[in-house]
Amino acid sequence: MQLVREDSSHRTSTYRLDAKILPAAKRTAKPTPELERETHDILGRAVEELKGQTFQVSRIDPVRSEDGSVVYYDVTVRP
Residue-wise pLDDT tens digits, 30-40:
889 999 999 99
What pLDDT sits at residue 50? 94
Residue 29 CA to residue 71 CA, distance in Å, equals 10
Residue-wise pLDDT tens digits, 56-79:
999 999 999 999 889 999 999 999
CB 78 within 8 A of CB 58: yes
52's CB contacts (< 8 A; 6+ apart) are none
Residue 61 CA to residue 30 CA, distance in Å, equals 8
pLDDT confidence band for 23 (50 / 70 / 90): confident
